[in-house]
A and B are shown apart, each in its own frame.
Chain A
């Protein structure tokens, strides 16, 4: 059973969306699917978390929407990273790595180190 992303890891969801879009422009369903696939089903992101996150990231100018025609001749909104979004992703990734490393060190500390 995969973990559902809740509000607590909101920042994490934003980062995952940015990462997904760093590879290529994508529509909403695709983004959710991609996160699920890459995480091998660990993260299942539902629409209720995704769409508010899109709106938020759009507001902050990190992603941009672009309407394209679908095969059914309807329109679909594809999101892509802005320059700021790319910068933000870089910074967040760096920050994340530092934290992960630190947490890992703490968790793996032996009794002597503590």
Chain B
């Protein structure tokens, strides 16, 4: 230890008193020489001979000094600084080389940084709760022939899990909903979380003002309390502390404010404006089949997810025995919340990160090639330095330092590129990737960029450095020989690698693009052009019965229909592609099935004009009419898929169906009067579900989505429609009008995002490969000037020269392409989950992408080939 400190002290001193140390070393070595010569003289040699022998024995004086200097650590630092200075000078002296290298590398590292930022925000960053890695999502599962699907839980199941488990310190259930904040002018939308009281301990979040709700407030009658978010408190009460105890109107009912959450609290991650207790009555314990609750729990310390799963499974086992009619087919699964949230997104993002890593590799190969080319110019300089005593390790170190300098320059430049890329990603990325919007260059990303830059430098500088330092000293100094075939082989190998990797990325991007194009051409089951949608809900309190609500809907639809430019207006709930859905078990009259075996299907409520407005075709029977009202015979419609599934004989019309245990419908039954076309409700890329429709006029629904078909651009009606709906009942909650086309396009948002990113990476890779190809061919043309001159002098035509040069380039490209095609099978098999309707070996796509690459390769070799053809033989032979 003392030795280390002393060595440090001596080293630092040596750095500062360098001149003195040099003089001392000179003196010491001269003394040594003189004494050695003295010894030799005593042995009988002449003075000159004695000195000559002594010098020979001592070896090179400069080399000796170097060795002595390098015995201390400070010399390493010093030579590093020297290398940095020298490297900077080299980069300044070759601005075009520096620019090309920095730009290519910055593109590679920048793409990498941007992609990593996305992954950091979406996958890696801890959730904003304390000890978030202890929060677990608990879900009901349904095992259908081995495929286990997660579902929301039913209240009785949740209570049993919560009360019987031994692995959770707390557990709560919740749903998200919307309220209209009324009584303060125009109704405002409030995003609310209905939750059980354990939400506060489970998330380890407490109100900053007032209190959270307690278990007793979860009962009907006691539940009219609300905890506001910080932002709602600010906007509705200007942050006044006396808001606690005041009352707000939600859906025209009074709620007492009991608390305000801190500004940092966000739940769910997309945010909410208010937390409320459920307000269940005693009947809730009978609704074991009603799955609509999301459940989160906090693990006791030291408990693993696997232990929690075992614990919950044992409870579920008991429940299955106790309630065979309801729970027989249900299971339970616990999963880390952070992982559950992104389980579908993670594989795609990781594939993209891999792809962007390949782009960076290509950029490195490019720089490596540039350095190799430049090394030809520098090999005499380096050989000279070796001859003068520079060790091999010293030269390698110097080359690596130069590489490092280059990489750090590129790394800094890449931050700017990554910043722009992230702005675009956040702006245009899909909204259903959690926390994508928070991606940015932050403290977690910058070290990553730094590491990638350093790794790149080591990667691309290593080959030229090792090759150069191994040069045969004497040979190079004497002749002006080129570094020879060996370097050429390296350059060719690097280039083939570049082309192969780009081919791989191009093939992947091509397949994704083809899959995407196929998806956009799919028919969602309706015509989305010129359709405006707008959610609309009215407070229960204003309309005492179904007839009153129905009158309100009639009035609204009639008024909207009168707006100029409107072709037809209808109402539906839930709207296709809106993210909402409603499924129900059903009984078909005349078929007796045990309750647990009842089939289920999607259920929709629609007004009479819905099918014509959305252009959903009527296949059989009739659609709803204005005559299907309260009091008249109950009717229903069935989708083609549902008709095939439940009535394979084709006898759907005339059958009577009755729908499930829960829901807000007055009487969920009807006689099937018609069959309508299928609608891809869950997304353009998801199959159309089996669905039933009930008429709005017989449902008593108090919240619908208005759909309006317009003559011109639907966007023109956004303002008037919103105003009109608001005017009818100022406490009605009118949502932001949305174009149906936007919903269709958003439903492919994630796929578009992945396709665009991989496409972007592939284009980048193609560009870099083209630059690489161009560089290698140009260089080889420059080297072969003499040869070309001789050929032209002997009568070779321009075309022949072009052909010769291009053949060389295309042979390399061809090699790369073949290898790349083989490798692309690797990448595309990882893409399998993202491809719809395209096989991973789709020959058309592979052929097209391969031709694109070939065309680019042709262009990249044609330009230098043309230059070669224009070589003047006289000039080439005289000065070559």
CA distance A27 to B39 in the complex (A): 14
Does B848 belong to the interface (CB within 8 Å)? no
B residues contacting the other copy or chain, number (CB 8 A): 28
Chain B nearest CB from A112 CB (Å) reads 45
Q: Across the interface, do A74 and B29 meet the contact criterion of CB distance under 8 Å?
A: no
CA distance A75 to B23 in the complex (A): 11
Q: Across the interface, do B67 and A61 meet the contact criterion of CB distance under 8 Å?
A: no
- Among A40-70, those with CB < 8 Å from B are 46-48, 51-56, 58-61, 70
Contact residue among B2, B27, B58 (Cβ-Cβ distance under 8 Å from A47) = B58
Residues of A within 8 A of B57 (CB): 46-47
Q: Across the interface, do A59 and B31 meet the contact criterion of CB distance under 8 Å?
A: no
Q: Across the interface, do B64 and A74 meet the contact criterion of CB distance under 8 Å?
A: no
- With A59-B10, A59-B72 as given contacts, are A28 and B32 in contact (CB-CB < 8 Å)? yes
Does B381 belong to the interface (CB within 8 Å)? no
- Among B734-787, those with CB < 8 Å from A are none
Residues of A within 8 A of B713 (CB): none
Chain A nearest CB from B30 CB (Å) reads 7
Residues of B within 8 A of A56 (CB): 71
- With A46-B57, A47-B59, A55-B72 as given contacts, are A77 and B6 in contact (CB-CB < 8 Å)? no
Q: Across the interface, do A46 and B59 meet the contact criterion of CB distance under 8 Å?
A: yes
Q: Across the interface, do A47 and B64 meet the contact criterion of CB distance under 8 Å?
A: yes
Q: Across the interface, do A77 and B59 meet the contact criterion of CB distance under 8 Å?
A: no
Q: Across the interface, do B6 and A75 meet the contact criterion of CB distance under 8 Å?
A: no
Q: Which residue of A lies closest to B63 (CB)?
A: A48
Q: Across the interface, do B27 and A74 meet the contact criterion of CB distance under 8 Å?
A: yes
Does B11 belong to the interface (CB within 8 Å)? yes
Residues of B within 8 A of A27 (CB): 31-32, 35
Does A2 belong to the interface (CB within 8 Å)? no
Does B36 belong to the interface (CB within 8 Å)? yes
Contact residue among B2, B7, B30 (Cβ-Cβ distance under 8 Å from A59) = B7
Does B68 belong to the interface (CB within 8 Å)? yes
Chain A nearest CB from B869 CB (Å) reads 57
- With A30-B35, A60-B6 as given contacts, are A52 and B30 in contact (CB-CB < 8 Å)? no
Residues of B within 8 A of A54 (CB): 68
CA distance A89 to B39 in the complex (A): 29
Q: Across the interface, do A28 and B71 meet the contact criterion of CB distance under 8 Å?
A: no
- Among A48-103, those with CB < 8 Å from B are 48, 51-56, 58-61, 70, 72, 74-77, 84
Contact residue among B3, B28, B39, B68 (Cβ-Cβ distance under 8 Å from A60) = B3
Residues of B within 8 A of A30 (CB): 35
CA distance A75 to B24 in the complex (A): 9
Residues of A within 8 A of B11 (CB): 59
Does B34 belong to the interface (CB within 8 Å)? yes
Q: Across the interface, do B31 and A74 meet the contact criterion of CB distance under 8 Å?
A: yes
Residues of A within 8 A of B3 (CB): 60-61, 84
CA distance A4 to B135 in the complex (A): 68
Q: Across the interface, do B58 and A61 meet the contact criterion of CB distance under 8 Å?
A: no
Q: Across the interface, do B10 and A51 meet the contact criterion of CB distance under 8 Å?
A: no
Contact residue among B27, B36, B39, B68 (Cβ-Cβ distance under 8 Å from A77) = B27
- With A33-B39, A51-B67, A77-B27 as given contacts, are A59 and B6 in contact (CB-CB < 8 Å)? yes
A interface footprint on B7-42 (CB within 8 Å = 1, 0 otherwise): 100110000000000001101111110111001000
Q: Across the interface, do B58 and A77 meet the contact criterion of CB distance under 8 Å?
A: no
- With A47-B59, A61-B2 as given contacts, are A76 and B39 in contact (CB-CB < 8 Å)? no
Q: Which residue of A lies closest to B68 (CB)?
A: A51
Q: Across the interface, do A70 and B7 meet the contact criterion of CB distance under 8 Å?
A: no
Residues of A within 8 A of B7 (CB): 59-61
CA distance A70 to B35 in the complex (A): 10
Chain B nearest CB from A48 CB (Å) reads 6
CA distance A70 to B34 in the complex (A): 11
Residues of A within 8 A of B10 (CB): 58-59
Residues of A within 8 A of B59 (CB): 46-48
Q: Which residue of B lies closest to A49 (CB)?
A: B67
Q: Across the interface, do B31 and A29 meet the contact criterion of CB distance under 8 Å?
A: yes
Residues of A within 8 A of B39 (CB): 29, 33
Q: Which residue of B lies closest to A74 (CB)?
A: B31
Residues of B within 8 A of A33 (CB): 39
Q: Which residue of B lies closest to A29 (CB)?
A: B35
CA distance A30 to B11 in the complex (A): 26
Q: Across the interface, do B31 and A28 meet the contact criterion of CB distance under 8 Å?
A: yes
Q: Across the interface, do A51 and B28 meet the contact criterion of CB distance under 8 Å?
A: yes
Residues of B within 8 A of A28 (CB): 28, 31-32
CA distance A95 to B36 in the complex (A): 34
Residues of A within 8 A of B71 (CB): 52-53, 55-56, 59
- Among B783-809, those with CB < 8 Å from A are none
Q: Which residue of A lies closest to B61 (CB)?
A: A47
CA distance A28 to B30 in the complex (A): 11
CA distance A84 to B28 in the complex (A): 24
Q: Across the interface, do A48 and B35 meet the contact criterion of CB distance under 8 Å?
A: no
Contact residue among A52, A53, A70 (Cβ-Cβ distance under 8 Å from B31) = A70
B interface footprint on A30-44 (CB within 8 Å = 1, 0 otherwise): 100100000000000
- With A46-B57, A47-B59, A51-B28 as given contacts, are A72 and B6 in contact (CB-CB < 8 Å)? no
- With A60-B3, A61-B2, A61-B6 as given contacts, are A75 and B68 in contact (CB-CB < 8 Å)? no
Residues of A within 8 A of B70 (CB): 52
CA distance A97 to B34 in the complex (A): 37
Chain B nearest CB from A67 CB (Å) reads 8
Chain B nearest CB from A73 CB (Å) reads 12
A interface footprint on B61-102 (CB within 8 Å = 1, 0 otherwise): 001100110111000000000000000000000000000000
- With A47-B64, A48-B67, A58-B10 as given contacts, are A75 and B27 in contact (CB-CB < 8 Å)? yes
Residues of A within 8 A of B35 (CB): 27, 29-30
Chain A nearest CB from B48 CB (Å) reads 18
Q: Across the interface, do A46 and B31 meet the contact criterion of CB distance under 8 Å?
A: no
Q: Across the interface, do A47 and B6 meet the contact criterion of CB distance under 8 Å?
A: no
Residues of A within 8 A of B2 (CB): 61, 84
Chain B nearest CB from A18 CB (Å) reads 14
CA distance A84 to B35 in the complex (A): 29
Chain B nearest CB from A15 CB (Å) reads 16
A interface footprint on B46-58 (CB within 8 Å = 1, 0 otherwise): 0000000000011
Q: Which of A59, A76, A84 has the most CB of B within 10 A?
A: A59
Q: Across the interface, do B58 and A46 meet the contact criterion of CB distance under 8 Å?
A: yes
Residues of A within 8 A of B34 (CB): 72, 74
- Among A3-30, those with CB < 8 Å from B are 27-30
CA distance A61 to B1 in the complex (A): 12
Q: Which residue of A lies closest to B24 (CB)?
A: A77
Residues of B within 8 A of A55 (CB): 68, 71-72
Q: Which residue of B lies closest to A46 (CB)?
A: B57
Chain B nearest CB from A92 CB (Å) reads 14
Q: Across the interface, do B6 and A76 meet the contact criterion of CB distance under 8 Å?
A: no
CA distance A77 to B29 in the complex (A): 10
Q: Which residue of A lies closest to B36 (CB)?
A: A29
Residues of A within 8 A of B30 (CB): 74
CA distance A84 to B10 in the complex (A): 16
CA distance A56 to B64 in the complex (A): 14
A interface footprint on B532-550 (CB within 8 Å = 1, 0 otherwise): 0000000000000000000
**Interchain residue pairs A-B with the least CB separation, the first 7:** A29-B35, A55-B71, A52-B71, A61-B6, A76-B31, A47-B58, A51-B68
A to B CB contacts below 8 Å, 26 in the list = A27-B32, A28-B28, A29-B31, A30-B35, A46-B58, A46-B59, A47-B32, A48-B64, A48-B67, A51-B29, A51-B67, A51-B68, A52-B70, A54-B68, A55-B71, A59-B6, A59-B10, A59-B11, A59-B71, A61-B2, A61-B3, A61-B7, A72-B34, A75-B27, A76-B27, A84-B2
Residues of B within 8 A of A (CB): 2-3, 6-7, 10-11, 24-25, 27-32, 34-36, 39, 57-59, 63-64, 67-68, 70-72
Given contacts A29-B35, A60-B7, 18 further A-B contacts (CB under 8 A): A27-B32, A28-B32, A30-B35, A46-B58, A46-B59, A47-B59, A51-B25, A51-B67, A52-B67, A52-B71, A55-B72, A58-B10, A59-B7, A59-B10, A59-B11, A60-B6, A75-B27, A77-B27
Residues of A within 8 A of B (CB): 27-30, 33, 46-48, 51-56, 58-61, 70, 72, 74-77, 84
